[in-house]
A and B are shown apart, each in its own frame.
Chain A
C-alpha cells in the first residue's frame, strides 16, 4: 500500500513535469519557427557579388553550359527579374513563377546557390539539398525551339534542377528525365508541390486556398486577392486554356495548368482588371468576376517572416 503511494508520489509529478517540459519545448519550437526570418538581400548586393565573379571556369558537371553566357543570364535575371521566361511549349511555369520570390526579395542567395551548383554540381538552397541527375546535367544548355529560353542557359539549369529535385503526384509516372520531357508531365507542378517549394526554398510563411481539382470557393474574390496583395506575394493557380483561348473546342476540361504572379488588381466598370506576371513580362487583362472565379483553382500567399527582422 505504502509502495503504491510512493509510486504515485514519483509517477504523477514526473508525468506532469514531462507534460510541462513537452509543452514548453513545443512553445520554444513554435517561438523558434516564428523567430525565423525570411532572408532578404538587395539587387545591389547581388550585382556587387556578380562583379567579382570574373574567372568562372567551364564546369565539368554542366558540359553544355558556357560560363560566360551563364553569368550573363544570371546578371540579366538580377537586373531585370521580370525577363525570366519559362520557354515556349514547356511545363516550367510553376518554377518560373516561384523564381519571382528570390529574384525580388533575395537575389544574392539565388545567385550564390546558382554559382555553387554550377561549380560543384551540388548545392543547398534553404532546406533542400540539390544534386541533379546526370541526364539533367547533360540537358541544361541544349534545350532549343523554346523561344527566349534557348539563349538562357542558367534558366534552363535552374528549371531542370528544380524539376529533377521536387516531385509531386503528377510526376509519378515520369520521374526520370529523358530528352523532351520538359514538355511533358516530368516537370509538372501540382498546387501542394508549389507551396512546399516556396516554403522550403525561401522560408516564407505560405497560406493557401484551393486544390488541383476543386475551386477554392472564395465568396468575394476581389477583396480576397486585394487583401492578399497587402500581405505578400500572391500566386494564382488557374486554368490556362480559359485564360488564353487557343482553340474552339466546346469540350474544355476545366483544370488548372498555369501559375501566374498577381501584381495588381482593381475594379473597372462591371469587371475586375488584373495585372499579372507569367512569362517575360506583365500582362493586364479585364475579366467579369464570375469568369475569374471559374478559372481560379488556387491562391497562394507568401508573406515574409519578419519576427527578428532588423
Chain B
C-alpha cells in the first residue's frame, strides 16, 4: 500500500517537473525570432491605431472568444467586454472612431499567435516620461491543474535600452540598476525589445 502511494506521488512529481521544463523551453527568447514578423506587425499597427485613439485590447478567456477593450479618454477610461462576433463590438469601435477593418486585422493577428493583451505603458527614466508597448503571449500547449500558468511578455521601446553582461534590462548605464516593470525583471532580445516570463498577462 505504502509502495503504491509512493509510486503515485513520484509519478505526479515527475509530471510537474516535466511540464515546467516544457513551459520554460517554449518561453525561450527564440520565440521572438520565430515570430518576429507577426510580432512587429502587431506592435506597429497597435502603435498607429493608438495614435488615433488611445486604447488597450486583449482576450479574457483561454479560447480567445471574448475580447476586452479599454478606451482611454481625457477624463475617463471605458472598459468593455464582448464576444468577438458580437455586433456591439463594431458599434463601440464606430462610436470611438476606431477603424473597424484595422482593428479586425489586429485582432486576427493577435489570435494567430495567441497574443492575449497589448497596451501602452508609461514609465519614467531620470524623471522623463517615456512609454513602451507591452505585449503578452499565452503559449502553454498543456497546463496541469493547480500550477500557475505563465505568460511570455514582450516590451518594445522606441529607443535602444541598456543591458548588463547577463542581459538584464537596466534603468540607466550610469546607475546600472536593474529596471523592473510591474515587478518583473526583463531580459534582452535586441536593443529595443526585452522579454520576461510572468504569471500575469497584464
Contacts and interface: CB of A to CB of B under 8 A. Distances in A.
B79 A285 contact: yes
A147 B202 contact: no
B14 to A, nearest CB: 22
Contacts of A284: 76-79
Interface string B75-115: 11111110000000000000000000000000000000000
A145 B202 contact: no
Interface residues of A, number: 24
A86 to B, nearest CB: 14
Nearest to B72: A281
A275 interface: yes
Contact of B76 (A144, A145, A148, A283): A283
Interface of B: 60-62, 68, 75-81, 121-124, 127, 129, 138, 145-146, 148-149, 151, 171, 177, 179-183, 199-202
A151 B81 CA distance: 33
Contacts, number: 67
B123 A281 contact: no
Contact of A150 (B75, B124, B181, B182): B124
Nearest to B81: A286
Interface in A139-197: 144-145, 147-148, 150-151, 183
Q: Which of B78, B127, B199 has the most CB of A within 10 A?
A: B78
B80 A286 contact: yes
A247 B200 contact: yes
Nearest to B122: A147
16 contacts: A148-B122, A150-B124, A151-B124, A151-B127, A247-B148, A247-B151, A247-B200, A248-B61, A248-B62, A248-B149, A249-B149, A251-B146, A282-B76, A283-B77, A283-B78, A286-B81
B149 A145 contact: no
Contacts of A250: 145
B157 to A, nearest CB: 15
A204 B60 CA distance: 39
Given A89-B182, A89-B183, A150-B124, A275 B200 contact: no
Contacts of B79: 283-285
B54 to A, nearest CB: 12
A237 to B, nearest CB: 20
Contacts of A145: 123, 171, 179-181
Contacts of B122: 147-148
Nearest to A247: B200
Given A145-B123, A147-B122, A281-B75, 19 more contacts: A88-B183, A89-B180, A144-B124, A145-B171, A147-B124, A148-B124, A151-B127, A151-B129, A183-B183, A244-B202, A247-B199, A247-B201, A248-B62, A248-B138, A248-B201, A249-B149, A283-B79, A284-B76, A284-B77
* 5 shortest interchain CB distances as A-B pairs: A150-B124, A246-B200, A89-B183, A145-B180, A285-B79
A251 B144 CA distance: 12
